[in-house]
Amino acid sequence: MQEAMKIYFELNGEQRYVEIEPGESLLSLLRRLGMKSVKSGCETGDCGACTVLLNGRAVRSCTTFAAQVRGKRVTTLEGLGDVDDPHPLQEAFVEAGAVQCGFCTPGMILVAYELLSKNGAPTPQEVRAAISGNLCRCTGYVKIVDAVLLAAQWKREGKWR
Amino acid sequence: MALEGKVVGRNVRKVDGLALACGRPKFTLDLDLPGALVGKILRSPYAHARILRIDTSRAEAVPGVACILHHGNVDRVPYTTAGQGWPEPSPYDNFLFDRKVRFVGDRVAAVAAETEEAAREALRLIEVDYEVLPAVLSPEEALAAGAPAIHDEDDAEGIYDAQHNIAAAVDIPVGDIERGFAESDVIVEASCEIPYSQHVALEPHCVIAYFDEDGRLVLRTSTQVPFHVRRIVARVVGLPMEKIRVVKPRIGGGFGSKQEVILEPVAAALALRAGRPVVMALDRAEVFTATRTRHPMRVRVKLGAKKDGTLHAIEMEALSNTGAYGAHSLTVLSNTGSKTLPLYNKAPHLWFHGKAVYTNLPVAGAYRGYGATQGYFALEVAMDMLAERLGMDPIELRLVNHIRAGETSPIFEKIGEGREGKPQTVKSCALEECLRVGAEKIGWREKRARRRREGSWAYGVGMSVSMQGSGITGIDMAAATIMMNENGSFRLLVGATDIGTGSDTVLAQIAAEVLGVPVERISVYSSDTDFTPFDTGAYASSTTYVSGMAVLRAARKVREAILEVAAGMLAEPPEDLELAEERVTSKKTGKSVTLSEVGHRATYVVDQRHIIASASFVPEESPPPFAAFFCEVAVDTETGVVRVERFVAAADCGVAIHPKLAAGQLEGAIVQGIGHALSEELLFSEKGRCTNANLFDYRIPSALDVPALEVVLVDSEEPSGPLGAKSIAEVGINGPLPAISNAIYHAVGVRLTRAPFTPARVLAALRG
Ligand code: FES
Ligand code: FES
């Protein structure tokens, strides 16, 4: 048996020093730490429900080892905003009707966040391409694309904080 | 807009939307339960086998293993996993664990252990000796003479003909079918087949079983049917119902797959045996192979029509594969006829007949569309063939034949949910308008007249129509409780099960409309068998209509109670008072009191009482929503690739209480239907093992696979529904298969009758 080890990393802006199990996935670690927005839909890297940002880039936490985030910055949906102070993307998802069951929503918002941080005026096709690795079975994606475009518009209008 | 309400008909904020968009821990597994054991299931490697010996001694020795259950140490209780009303129409052919396994993935044993690793290790060490039996891997094999009987146990109940592997059968003649065809000028026939497909709700099935401080069993579970879970678990584990509480938190999608009580009895039995909480979560492969699927079905439709296009005779024959167990076998089969044939009510001669047969393949069950999807594929392809034979426009043919408001069909009475139905007159139908709007949006006339071709790509347009129901007549029952807080806000308690559809919001809107408050003043809670009133659950497109009526009735009672209190305050009779904008106002004097004043007075001051009311509703009819579907496809004649370029749907769901949520239901259903048409199919080895039970090989549509999709809600008003509403959840999934097949025919002149329309199938069809 390998020894459990401890790592430092930054989680939603806070330094954490935590024990991780040998071979533990980032998904498992984050959920253990209470980040329940990180969802498990397949654990084979195919659905995107477990998406988090690693140094600002969207990654699948189910196929990322916890050990890989040592010294890095991890953002989960909890790090973007909460109900009393939501992020505009979170608002946009509600406004556009993009949330049905909400199980894909955390991952969708995080990939959208990454997209909009690089491209403030995406076309619908660019949005579709950006979210194409994240599956949603409820919405047919129509309103998710609307939501991302709406958030982008708000960003251009200077409504993001 | 049929009804321009203050709240109804408006896109209010989804009541749980922001919390979900912020990732709040609202789902089943988001609750950490210290000391919970992990439950895992040992599954059969064989499609059909008898368990000769099972030895758990080595597995039990694994450190951390709390208990292991198998057929040798649990009670044998026949039951059905199908979460339906009672008495249950599905056969009692399941056992918690059986001496026999009937498909690859069937339950052999279950383990509860301190850690996942220990549980897995224990599964590995359970020794099982099997006598492998010949497997039945298709409905044809199941019906062949001398086929092995899959359910040869003598204690199953309600199987139609176990010896011949027939779980259920229907035979419904109306009029004289032979005369009907003899009197017809034109006859066409289509036979269409749908394979194994899976719901792929993004949240896998999961449950937490634990005990409350009084030792009662609590099941926090991802379900569409909390009250059926309670009833079925009580039966299987032998607890009185009142010792079980079922909590439904937020659910990550269901589409029918969670109308099945699959995991809960296992988790309950493990928790009871171990005396400790147990968490169980299926992995995606288990969801694919060991939860439920759509019933694979071959449906043959024969149409006889007069020269003017009027249908005169319709025969529909269905062969349904229910897999290893008969969950929903009879009712899905019945719905294949009952949700399709009334649409074309002009034909006096009908014959609907079919069988649902057992095979040693995964278990089929409820899936959005529920048999109608299978029926419409064949029916609407046959209609396209008929239009061609008659030289008629397909839209025209539908206009000549479809049911209208004020009309009925004998089928409503002949086929119910596992028993006879009830007569019903359609009271609202805007299908004509749906057809008109849809045709205009897609550019039907021009595109139909001129087939486009670009290099190897051929373009075509096709269409289809469908209807569904709104709840189950005489069987569904929903109840709601509304209580007023003294500050004039309300608590709405419903057994209705929001599984992501937004029904909590829709129901709050109905209450808010009646109570004259904004939705924010109503906090909704669904659902918990201890604290919310009964509801049969989220299935059969029932929630808006059935649960909505219960909420409407409860809200009206609360309104009356409010007016009564206010009458005392304003010294005027209740008839002269009006409730709106959080006040009760006299229509005569204009004097008013606020709801908060009413609440405080009733709670603390005079003639004290809690303003609270409950109401129930049982539907006497199931008003169908209607929809028309149009699509444009491109077919690559060299590779066989089909691209859906555009898809337009126009639907009549009565008054859309929340248009955006209704449109979202339609969009989601259509995209699932497009998946069925283009890519989705579970594949099996010759030993019955599923070979693509993962989200990479079983392709559901991604955002890049979705065509330009436009949905239109066409107004109508359903007089029997809550504030004019009927259902929307299912009707959309019936359209894509036939519409796309018909569009492919328009593009390249070949009929695709076996879904999905993969490049290989399209090429094979093109090459004749
Ligand atoms: S859970 Fe990680 S991609 Fe599905
Ligand atoms: S909203 Fe349910 S999976 Fe996307």
Q: Tens of pLDDT along B367-414?
A: 999 999 999 999 999 999 999 999 999 999 999 999 999 999 999 999
How many structural domains compose chain A?
2
CATH topology assigned to domain B36-133+205-281: Aldehyde Oxidoreductase; domain 3 (3.90.1170)
Least Cα distance to B349 among B389, B306, B393, B380 occurs for B306
Asked if the model's pLDDT at residue A3 lies above 80, the reply is no
Asked if the model's pLDDT at residue B355 lies above 90, the reply is yes
Domain check: are A91 and A103 in the same one? yes
Return the bridge partners of B425, or none. B408
What's the rounded mean pLDDT across residues B219-223? 98
8 Å CB contact between B626 and B430? yes
| Tokens found for residue B73 | 């140490």
- Using the mean position of ligand 2's atoms as its centre, give its distance from the Cα of residue B531 in Å: 27
Number of neighbouring beta carbons within 10 Å of residue B2: 16
Model pLDDT, residue B350: 98
Could you give the residue range(s) of every CATH 3.90.1170.50 domain in chain B?
36-133+205-281
B21 touches chain A (CB under 8 A): yes
Which of A44, A103, A136 is the best mutation target for the ligand 1 pocket, counting ligand atoms within 8 Å of the beta carbon and taking the most?
A44
Position A103 in a domain: yes
User: In this complex, which of B13, B26, B30 lies closest to A94 when CB atoms are compared?
Assistant: B13
Position A135 in a domain: yes
Identify the weakest region by mean pLDDT among A17-26, A55-64, B101-110, B412-421: B412-421
Asked if the model's pLDDT at residue B206 lies above 50, the reply is yes
Domain check: are A72 and A86 in the same one? no
B56-89: string of b/e by CB count within 10 Å (b at 16+)?
beebeebeebbbbbbbeebeeebbbbbbbbeebb
Could you give the residue range(s) of every CATH 3.30.365.10 domain in chain B?
297-472+621-767, 476-617
Burial bucket for residue A160 (CB in 10 Å: 0-12, 13-18, 19+):
middle
* Residue that terminates a domain, selected from A28, A61, A79: A79
Where residue B1 falls among pLDDT bands split at 50, 70, 90?
Answer: very low
Return the bridge partners of B27, or none. B250
Domain check: are A85 and A151 in the same one? yes
Residues 6+ apart with CB under 8 A from B294: B194, B196, B197, B198, B199, B364, B367, B369, B373, B374, B676
Contact residues on chain A for B661, CB-CB shorter than 8 A: 97
Contact residues on chain B for A141, CB-CB shorter than 8 A: 671, 701-703, 706
Asked if the model's pLDDT at residue B4 lies above 80, the reply is no
Position A72 in a domain: yes
Identify the weakest region by mean pLDDT among A3-7, B5-9, B147-151: A3-7
Least Cα distance to B229 among B175, B277, B268 occurs for B268
User: In this complex, which of A41, A44, A78 lies closest to B203 when CB atoms are compared?
Assistant: A41
Where residue A161 falls among pLDDT bands split at 50, 70, 90?
Answer: confident
Ligand 2 pocket by Cβ (under 6 Å): A 100-104, 136-139; B 202, 253, 500
Where residue A2 falls among pLDDT bands split at 50, 70, 90?
Answer: low
Position A161 in a domain: no
Percent of residues, chain B, with pLDDT higher than 70: 99
The pLDDT tens digits for B365-380 are 999 999 999 999 999 9
Position A119 in a domain: yes
The pLDDT tens digits for B34-87 are 999 999 999 999 999 999 999 999 999 999 999 999 999 999 999 999 999 999
Domain check: are A74 and A86 in the same one? no
Angle at B373 between CA B372 and CA B375, to 5 degrees: 60
The answer to whether A104 contacts B704, with C-beta atoms less than 8 Å apart, is no
CATH number of the structural domain spanning residue A30: 3.10.20.30
Q: Round to whole Å and give the CA distance between A100 and A123.
A: 23
Residue whose tokens read 């259509």: B670
Domain check: are A74 and A9 in the same one? yes
Domain check: are A48 and A101 in the same one? no
Q: Round to whole Å and give the CA distance between B494 and B524.
A: 8
B708 touches chain A (CB under 8 A): no
User: In this complex, which of A36, A129, A139 lies closest to B704 when CB atoms are compared?
Assistant: A129
Q: Round to whole Å and give the CA distance between B30 and B699.
A: 28
Specify the ligand 1 atom closest to the Cα of A40.
Answer: 1
- Using the mean position of ligand 1's atoms as its centre, give its distance from the Cα of residue A41 in Å: 5
**How close A74 comes to chain B (CA, Å)?**
16
The answer to whether A132 contacts B672, with C-beta atoms less than 8 Å apart, is no
B120 touches chain A (CB under 8 A): no
Domain check: are A39 and A99 in the same one? no
Asked if the model's pLDDT at residue A1 lies above 90, the reply is no
For the entire predicted model, the pTM comes to 0.97
In this structure, which amino acid lies at residue B191? Answer: S
Asked if the model's pLDDT at residue B560 lies above 80, the reply is yes
* Residue that terminates a domain, selected from A48, A79, A110: A79
The answer to whether A44 contacts B19, with C-beta atoms less than 8 Å apart, is no
Position A100 in a domain: yes
| CATH code matching the domain that covers B297-472+621-767, chosen among 3.40.50.10490, 3.30.70.20, 3.30.1330.40, 3.30.365.10 | 3.30.365.10
Least Cα distance to B723 among B528, B511, B517 occurs for B511
Domain check: are A38 and A97 in the same one? no
**H helix or E strand, kind and range, residue B65:** strand B65-70
The answer to whether A128 contacts B703, with C-beta atoms less than 8 Å apart, is yes
User: For residue A82, what is the nearest residue in chain B, using CA coordinates?
Assistant: B22
* Residue that terminates a domain, selected from A18, A44, A79: A79
Q: In this predicted complex, what is the ipTM?
A: 0.98
What's the rounded mean pLDDT across residues B577-597? 97
Model pLDDT, residue A84: 97
Query: Measuring CA to CA, how many Å separate B350 from each of B315, B383, B422?
Result: 6, 15, 17
The answer to whether A101 contacts B203, with C-beta atoms less than 8 Å apart, is yes
B557 touches chain A (CB under 8 A): no
Where residue B2 falls among pLDDT bands split at 50, 70, 90?
Answer: very low
Domain check: are A96 and A71 in the same one? no
| CATH code matching the domain that covers B476-617, chosen among 3.40.50.2300, 3.30.365.10, 3.40.50.300, 3.40.50.620 | 3.30.365.10
Specify the ligand 2 atom closest to the Cα of A137.
Answer: 3
- Say how many Å lie between the first and final Cα of chain A, rounded: 48
- Say how many Å lie between the first and final Cα of chain B, rounded: 50
Asked if the model's pLDDT at residue A72 lies above 90, the reply is yes
Q: Tell me which of A101, A108, A149 to substitute to probe the interface with B (most B C-beta atoms closer than 10 Å).
A: A101
The answer to whether A102 contacts B30, with C-beta atoms less than 8 Å apart, is no
Asked if the model's pLDDT at residue B765 lies above 50, the reply is yes
Number of neighbouring beta carbons within 10 Å of residue B691: 11
The pLDDT tens digits for B167-197 are 999 999 999 999 999 999 999 999 999 999 9
Model pLDDT, residue B363: 98
The answer to whether A142 contacts B500, with C-beta atoms less than 8 Å apart, is no
Query: Measuring CA to CA, how many Å separate B103 from each of A17, B76, B353?
Result: 47, 19, 27
B744 touches chain A (CB under 8 A): no
Average pLDDT, chain A: 96
Which of A40, A42, A93, A100 is the best mutation target for the ligand 2 pocket, counting ligand atoms within 8 Å of the beta carbon and taking the most?
A100
Which of A46, A103, A111 is the best mutation target for the ligand 1 pocket, counting ligand atoms within 8 Å of the beta carbon and taking the most?
A46
Domain housing A142: 81-156
Angle at B635 between CA A129 and CA B761, to 5 degrees: 100
Q: Round to whole Å and give the CA distance between B537 and B223.
A: 9
| Tokens found for residue B161 | 């003909």
Domain check: are A66 and A97 in the same one? no
Where residue A63 falls among pLDDT bands split at 50, 70, 90?
Answer: very high
Least Cα distance to B667 among B714, B706, B619, B722 occurs for B706
Specify the ligand 1 atom closest to the Cα of A43.
Answer: 1
Domain check: are A14 and A34 in the same one? yes
Q: If DSSP codes are grouped into helix, strand and coil, which group holds residue B651?
A: strand
Ligand 1 pocket by Cβ (under 6 Å): A 40-43, 45-50, 60, 62
Domain check: are A75 and A87 in the same one? no
Average pLDDT, chain B: 97
CATH number of the structural domain spanning residue A95: 1.10.150.120
B664 touches chain A (CB under 8 A): yes
Position A107 in a domain: yes
The answer to whether B700 contacts A137, with C-beta atoms less than 8 Å apart, is yes
Query: Measuring CA to CA, how many Å separate A145 from each of A148, A152, B168, B757?
Result: 5, 11, 44, 27
Number of neighbouring beta carbons within 10 Å of residue B764: 14
The verdict on whether omega for the bond into residue B296 sits within 30 degrees of 0, i.e. cis, is: no
